[in-house]
Amino acid sequence: MTTLLRTSPAPRRRTYSAIPGQTPGSPPWRVLKSILLLICVLLVVLPFVAIISTSFADAAQVNRTGGFVFWPENPTLESYRAILGGGIVSQALLVSIGVTVVGTALSLASSITLAYGLSRPEAYGQRPILLMLLFSMLFVPGVIPSFLLVQQLGLINTYWALILPTMVNAFNVIVLRSFFTSLPRELIDAARIDGASEWRILTRIVLPLSKASVAVIGLFYAVGYWNAFFNAMVYINESSMWPLQLVLRTYVVNNAAIGAGAAAADPGVPLPPSQALQSAILVLSILPIVILYPFLQRHMTRGVMLGAVKG
Amino acid sequence: MDMRLSRRSVLHAGLGIAAGAALGGSLTACGDGGAGVLPPAAGRTVLPDYVPYTAVTPDFPGTEQGVLNGFYHYPATPVRAFPDGPPAEGDPFRFMTIIYNPVPPPVSRNRLWQELNAYLGADLQLEIVPSTDYVTKFSLTIAGGDLPDGMLVRPEAPQKPGLLSALCEDLTPYLSGSAVRRYPYLANLPTMSWRNCVLNGRIYGVPMPRLNSGSAMFYRADFLAARSLNPEPANFAEFLQLCRDLTDPSQTRYACGDPLTTFYFVMEMLGSPKDWREENGRFTWYLEDTDRVRQGLDAMRQLVRAGVMHPDGFSTTGRFKDWFGNGQIAINYDGATAWNDYYRSYRSASPDLRVGAMVAPGFDGGPGVHWAGPSSFSMFSLKKAAPARIEQLLRALDALATPFGTDGYLLRKFGVPGHDFDFRESDPILNRTGTTENTLPAMFATDAPQVLYYPDDPSVVPEQYAWQQKAVSVLISDAAEGLYSAADAARGGPNRDLMFQTLRSYMQERNTWDDVLAGINRWRTVVGDQSRVEYEQAWQQWAV
């Protein structure tokens, strides 16, 4: 009788190669690569650190360092208090949140339905509409024609002017359409044989299979609405209706001394220096996206790649 | 909803496109300073009468040459500008104005704005446009055709004569000569500032007067005093030595920051004209005087070689005020009104901060010159409307021009007592609320003549007055001020910027003198020669 001795396999040497068969490289080369990567990471991270630190720095340190601070010696929330103390920034924040939420919802609804329609070859007028969509990607209207259209639609000085002109993004629709087209046709045919309507097929079969793509496109739309300032500058006349980014622009681009006038007037509680206030506004403006992004990040690569490579 | 394209909308869109194309990039900085010499025979034209306001007596009297009135304190009992009640009435006034500061709180949360509406007698609806976006917004507003009641029109606006006559009210019947006396505070605006509002012999707007003395070469008086340095160099060599003495790279401290404005100061030392010089009806741009320009640029090279320029100065815009405030640079050429701003913005972090200003000495000794600024920042034009409406709008503008010493001035500049400011004796001292509310850009519709006044530290006023006296004694104005050139309006700004880039490169020894000459020749070909002809023609029209 032969006894088979089951021996545990020799422990495999761990390699750092992400691609099978690729050699890891010599140690000095790996060290060099690590240093280069570290420098790249620092180049990305340090501006964020500087902005966040400066927003918490006190006036003396900001003035001493000439603008940017990498570590606040005496952290203070004074900049945030000054900004959010009932002024226009807090109101603009609400406007931005409202426009982003409503705009993203409407954009997703319109883009998904349009992309689904365009992904069905049997849909009436599918090809001409697709060509129109592609045409709008290649030839964009100028600012003045857009303004005249929005004006004649009666949307000037309304929040709709911040949403409707950018509600459907052709690129996003194409990406979604590509993903919908890649779904197995048998699934949809089976549902149709079972008597499901197009709406039911979309909501019960297509969308649950497309969470990754929809999440990514939703993020694209949300970031776009959140960062938009130009439409507000063009279409909104009342500063009380401005979104955060346009208010931020008057602080940052106008490069005005934000605290001018208060320092000597109220020496006990001077306003923070302009760099600290600008940094605090920047932090506030990127905070929602920074919070949102990690939850969608896992869908990001998958969603975009799926839509992008299948057509 | 009418979706048809009418001839009128096409005209508006065409004007808007022209405005956008030609104004592009030309709005840069807030202007100040102004006046100077009127073109010949300007007094025989339609300019409004000048009736100075004399109800308050300045501690430091201004002069006709352009020194501003100076005041130690605000009058204990401000004069009621409109004793019979609000001057205007009717529908809200929709004004489109520029802003250089952070946007103020909306009217619902802004007591100053609410009280100003009550003071005027009608609601002031301000369409506030960030300075960097005004070009775009202006052209779109023209294109759209839905003009506000009043809007700021920049001096370099293209097609200005056609644009104004087509869309804006001719205010000549309301303001020319003695007619302006119906609006006593508009009549108090300096004559030269009105010159910028006249096109084709008609008045198309109301000015935003600025002080005569333009910019100033500020220095950190506390730094100079600590090193016992002389703040009044007698020539360029002494200025260079002063810069060397102020520079200490180990402390991140340099003498100068902005190479371009430092070059202006050197050109003042060399007696250069301000922009355009007129001689026997012939116009010359100051950079066309190549011998003087080369001398100025070589002097700049000396400053750069000496290491007295901030190393980031050539690659930075808009940070020089901060650098000066936090001590990274000790000398900074800035608008004269920045004097108070430096104290307001930076004294809390630098309690020892003291600011002084110098006037350019002659390059080799003796007096230099001092460049005047534009006497009006811009003009504020009114949309065509019925005479009754125009009169109401002019009354509102009259109220926005109420001068120092009145209740209106106190309200506009400082706000509501107890809410925006508190009195220290008779002087209004802004609090934090006032600081945010008083950025209301009504000052970019029109404004009172500027004065020397700093309630937080009245000891600054005599220093400012003394500097103004010196500056005005050697003041030199732009001969083209108040004249219109379509070519300069359309192409002047970008080509000037291109030229300045060439000058900066020369200062850094990155190009040669031949490159500078080529740049000047290019400027002549693209815009300069045509601008010259147009300015000469415009000047002749005034001279006839």
Query: Under an 8 A CB cutoff, do B434 and A265 touch?
Result: yes
B271 touches chain A (CB under 8 A): no
B453 to chain A, closest Cα gap in Å: 13
Spatial separation of the C-alpha atoms in residues B543 and B281, rounded to whole Å: 9
Whether residue B373 contacts residue B246, with contact meaning beta carbons closer than 8 Å, is answered with: no
Spatial separation of the C-alpha atoms in residues B413 and B428, rounded to whole Å: 10
Q: What stretches of B306-386 show up as alpha helix (H) in DSSP?
A: 320-326, 338-346
At B37 the pLDDT is 40
Query: Under an 8 A CB cutoff, do B133 and A270 touch?
Result: no
Query: Under an 8 A CB cutoff, do A264 and B343 touch?
Result: yes
Whether residue A37 contacts residue A250, with contact meaning beta carbons closer than 8 Å, is answered with: no
Query: Under an 8 A CB cutoff, do A257 and B321 touch?
Result: yes
B11 touches chain A (CB under 8 A): no
Whether residue A275 contacts residue A146, with contact meaning beta carbons closer than 8 Å, is answered with: no
Query: Under an 8 A CB cutoff, do A63 and B350 touch?
Result: yes
A219 to chain B, closest Cα gap in Å: 28
B20 touches chain A (CB under 8 A): yes
Query: Under an 8 A CB cutoff, do B104 and A239 touch?
Result: yes
Spatial separation of the C-alpha atoms in residues B501 and B507, rounded to whole Å: 10
* SS3 assignment, position B95: strand
Query: Under an 8 A CB cutoff, do B103 and A82 touch?
Result: no
Helix, strand, coil percentages in chain A from 3-state DSSP, rounded to 5:
70, 0, 30
Spatial separation of the C-alpha atoms in residues A84 and A244, rounded to whole Å: 12
Query: Under an 8 A CB cutoff, do A251 and B102 touch?
Result: yes
At A85 the pLDDT is 65
Q: What residues 315-344 of chain B have any CB closer than 8 A to a CB of chain A? A: 318-319, 321-323, 325-328, 341, 343-344
Architecture of domain A81-308: Orthogonal Bundle (1.10)
Query: Under an 8 A CB cutoff, do A257 and B136 touch?
Result: no
* Residue from B4, B11, B17, B103 whose CB has the most chain A CBs within 10 Å, to mutate: B103
A152: closest chain B residue by CA: B3
Query: Under an 8 A CB cutoff, do B341 and A66 touch?
Result: no
A59 to chain B, closest Cα gap in Å: 6
| DSSP-derived secondary structure for B45-93 | SSPBP-----SS--SB---TTSPPPB-SS--SS-B-S-TTS-S--SSPE
Whether residue A72 contacts residue A279, with contact meaning beta carbons closer than 8 Å, is answered with: no
Provide the mean pLDDT of chain B.
Answer: 88
A155: closest chain B residue by CA: B1
Q: B362: buried, middle or exposed (CB in 10 Å: 19+, 13-18, 0-12)?
A: middle
B17: closest chain A residue by CA: A144
Whether residue B356 contacts residue B231, with contact meaning beta carbons closer than 8 Å, is answered with: yes
Spatial separation of the C-alpha atoms in residues A300 and A220, rounded to whole Å: 10
B151 touches chain A (CB under 8 A): no
* SS3 assignment, position B17: helix
- For residue B347, list chain A residues with Cβ-Cβ distance below 8 A: 263-264
Tell me the pTM: 0.82
Spatial separation of the C-alpha atoms in residues A204 and A216, rounded to whole Å: 19
- Token pair in block for residue B286: 């100051």
State what percent of residues in chain B have pLDDT above 70.
Answer: 91
B430 touches chain A (CB under 8 A): yes
Question: pLDDT tens digits for A174-226?
Answer: 999 998 998 888 888 899 899 989 899 999 999 999 888 898 899 899 989 99
* Residue from A54, A58, A63 whose CB has the most chain B CBs within 10 Å, to mutate: A63
Q: What is the CA radius of gyration of chain A?
A: 27
Q: What is the pLDDT tens value at each position of chain B, 544 positions in all?
A: 444 444 445 445 555 555 554 444 333 333 333 333 444 444 455 899 999 999 999 999 998 888 999 999 999 999 999 999 999 998 999 999 998 877 888 898 899 999 999 999 999 999 999 888 898 899 899 988 889 999 999 887 878 888 899 999 999 999 999 999 999 999 999 988 998 898 888 999 999 998 778 899 999 999 999 999 999 999 999 999 999 999 999 888 999 999 999 999 999 999 999 999 999 899 999 999 999 999 999 999 999 999 999 999 998 877 788 889 888 899 999 988 889 888 887 887 788 899 999 999 999 999 999 999 888 888 999 999 999 999 999 999 999 999 999 999 999 999 999 999 999 999 999 887 888 888 888 889 999 999 999 999 999 999 999 999 999 999 999 999 888 898 998 888 889 999 999 999 999 999 999 999 999 999 999 999 999 999 999 888 776 4
Whether residue A130 contacts residue A311, with contact meaning beta carbons closer than 8 Å, is answered with: no
- For residue B132, list chain A residues with Cβ-Cβ distance below 8 A: 249, 253-254
At A15 the pLDDT is 52
Which of A253, A262, A267 is the closest to B435 by Cβ?
A: A262
Sign (positive or negative) of CA dihedral A207, A213, A214, A215: positive
Spatial separation of the C-alpha atoms in residues B44 and B176, rounded to whole Å: 11
Spatial separation of the C-alpha atoms in residues A295 and B140, rounded to whole Å: 40
Q: B367: buried, middle or exposed (CB in 10 Å: 19+, 13-18, 0-12)?
A: middle
B429 touches chain A (CB under 8 A): yes
B497 touches chain A (CB under 8 A): no
Nearest to B530 by CA among B274, B272, B279, B285: B285
Inter-chain Cβ pairs, chain A and chain B, closer than 8 A? 168
B109: closest chain A residue by CA: A87
- For residue A60, list chain B residues with Cβ-Cβ distance below 8 A: 349
Nearest to B344 by CA among B242, B225, B200, B460: B460
Spatial separation of the C-alpha atoms in residues B485 and B533, rounded to whole Å: 9
ipTM: 0.76
Query: Under an 8 A CB cutoff, do B136 and A233 touch?
Result: yes
Query: Under an 8 A CB cutoff, do A263 and B348 touch?
Result: yes
Query: Under an 8 A CB cutoff, do B99 and A254 touch?
Result: yes
Spatial separation of the C-alpha atoms in residues B398 and B88, rounded to whole Å: 10
Whether residue B187 contacts residue B181, with contact meaning beta carbons closer than 8 Å, is answered with: yes
B100: closest chain A residue by CA: A254
Q: Which residues of chain A have pLDDT under 70?
A: 1-21, 85-87, 252-271, 299-311
Q: B499 vs B27, B79, B294, B394, B493, CA distance in Å? A: 17, 50, 14, 41, 10
Spatial separation of the C-alpha atoms in residues B32 and B132, rounded to whole Å: 18
Nearest to A204 by CA among A220, A174, A218, A183: A183
At A67 the pLDDT is 73
At B540 the pLDDT is 86
Spatial separation of the C-alpha atoms in residues B308 and A152, rounded to whole Å: 57
Query: Under an 8 A CB cutoff, do A86 and B109 touch?
Result: yes
B344 to chain A, closest Cα gap in Å: 5
Which of B143, B347, B348 is the closest to A147 by Cβ?
A: B143
Query: Under an 8 A CB cutoff, do B109 and A261 touch?
Result: no
- The C-alpha angle with vertex B451 and arms to B62 and B454, in degrees rounded to 5, equals 125
Cβ neighbours of A88 (radius 10 Å): 23
A304 HSE (CA, 13 A, CB side) = 11
* Residue from B432, B433, B437, B457 whose CB has the most chain A CBs within 10 Å, to mutate: B432
Q: B69: buried, middle or exposed (CB in 10 Å: 19+, 13-18, 0-12)?
A: buried
| DSSP-derived secondary structure for A173-239 | HHHHHHHHHHS-HHHHHHHHHTT--HHHHIIIIIHHHTHHHHHHHHHHHHHHHHH--HHHHHH---G
Torsion of CA B238, B242, B243, B248, to 10 degrees: 150
Whether residue A237 contacts residue A157, with contact meaning beta carbons closer than 8 Å, is answered with: yes
Domain ranges of chain A: 29-76, 81-308
A251: closest chain B residue by CA: B102
Cβ neighbours of B431 (radius 10 Å): 20
B528 to chain A, closest Cα gap in Å: 30
Spatial separation of the C-alpha atoms in residues A273 and A260, rounded to whole Å: 9
B241 touches chain A (CB under 8 A): no
Query: Under an 8 A CB cutoff, do A143 and B347 touch?
Result: no
